[in-house]
Amino acid sequence: MTDDAIVIEDLRKNFKDVKVLEGIDLKVERGTVLALLGPNGAGKTTTIRILSTLLQPDDGRAYINGHDVVKDPDAVRASIGLTGQYAAVDELLTGRENLEMMGRLYHLSKADSRTRAEEMLAEFELTDAANRAVKTYSGGMKRRLDVAASLIAAPPILFLDEPTTGLDPRSRLKVWDIVQQLVDAGATIFLTTQYLDEADKLADRIAVLDHGRIIAEGTADELKEKVGKDRLEVTVTKESDFDAALRAVEGAAAQSDPEERRVSVAMEGGVHEVKELLDRLERAGVKIEGLALHKPTLDDVFLHLTGHEAMENDQVTKK
């Protein structure tokens, strides 16, 4: 039997007439990371709000650490840490005061709250700014403090709603590193993200939410397989050679892009395949300028499944 830290069964939520969640089923095994992907408005934040007891579902059940989110919210709250989509810290207090306050509210002792606050400040590289009011922090610093606040009590289950949106690459790596450490330490993490490389890197399993339903779920590799195989892309030097190149690779499930003078062919995987393709092009007298092996990315998966471009959504999200 698997030990699931999070179990979601047929979860439904409407806001007035708008159906936001139309029956979600998900399980997250203890000690793993689940990334919930989906275009804007898919219902990711709504899902996290229900799981963290901020919002009542209309129907369905959810269990966190074995506790029902509706019937036993206090037990759920004692097991979780939450980092919402937007930084939620007290702007008038200093960074240290914020963390110590959170420690106390998670019912750590005064001494523990103080040491933990210190550790988190150091871990998130905020020690230098610890005694400054948070309203003087940059967006990225606020975000780091926000993530730190949800980790102060080392809860077994963490909800992170777009934890790295707005962070610079260095801070993002920092958060990734910490998520990895948390998982190594046995935590279960439920995160949403707009960055597919983030999901690829961190998540054990990925679920794609669209129009209130889970339309795909699996490991990153499983999802990528759904989209297709690796492709070899060839860019020809002269535009006049393009038709000849296309004829030469005919039958090999080719795709073409005349504007970029590019032809791409699905690969089964062997080196001999590459050689044979190049031979055929040479025999046809086609000169080539570039050669690239293209593996399907989660972007392809996302596009294929939802019909939206992930990055395009990302721009809309920025406040």
Residues that bind ligand ATP (CB under 6 A): 15, 18, 20, 38, 40-46, 85, 317
Largest CA distance in the chain: 78
Structure token digits, residue 219: 């490991």
Q: How far is the CB of 85 from ligand ATP (least distance, A)?
A: 6
Total interface residues for Mg ion by CB under 5 A: 3
| Phi–psi pair at 22, nearest 5 degrees | -115, 45
Does 193 contact Mg ion by CB under 5 A?
no
Does 93 contact other proteins by CB under 8 A?
yes
The residue among 44 and 96 lying less far from ligand ATP, judged by its C-beta, is 44
Q: How far is the CB of 313 from ligand ATP (least distance, A)?
A: 7
Does 45 contact Mg ion by CB under 5 A?
yes
Query: Which of the stretches 72-80, 230-238, 268-276, 288-296 binds other proteins when contact is defined by CB under 8 A?
Result: 72-80
Give yes or no for a contact between 23 and 10, defined as CB atoms under 8 angstroms apart.
Answer: yes
Distances (CA, A) of 15 to 36, 40, 52, 231, 255: 21, 16, 18, 43, 44
| Burial bucket for residue 70 (CB in 10 Å: 0-12, 13-18, 19+) | middle
Q: How far is the CB of 87 from ligand ATP (least distance, A)?
A: 14
136 touches which of other proteins, Mg ion, ligand ATP, none (CB within 5 to 8 A by kind)?
A: none
Q: How far is the CB of 62 from ligand ATP (least distance, A)?
A: 15
Query: Which of the stretches 19-27, 58-66, 100-108, 238-246 binds other proteins when contact is defined by CB under 8 A?
Result: 100-108
Q: How far is the CB of 303 from Mg ion (least distance, A)?
A: 20
d(CA 44, CA 55): 13
Does 85 contact Mg ion by CB under 5 A?
yes
Does 80 contact other proteins by CB under 8 A?
yes
d(CA 188, CA 156): 6
Give yes or no for a contact between 8 and 170, defined as CB atoms under 8 angstroms apart.
Answer: no
Write out the DSSP string of 233-279: EEEES-GGGHHHHHHHTTTS-EEEEGGGTEEEEE--S-HHHHHHHHH
| Among residues 70, 78, 227, 303, the one that binds other proteins under rule CB under 8 A | 78
Does 303 contact other proteins by CB under 8 A?
no
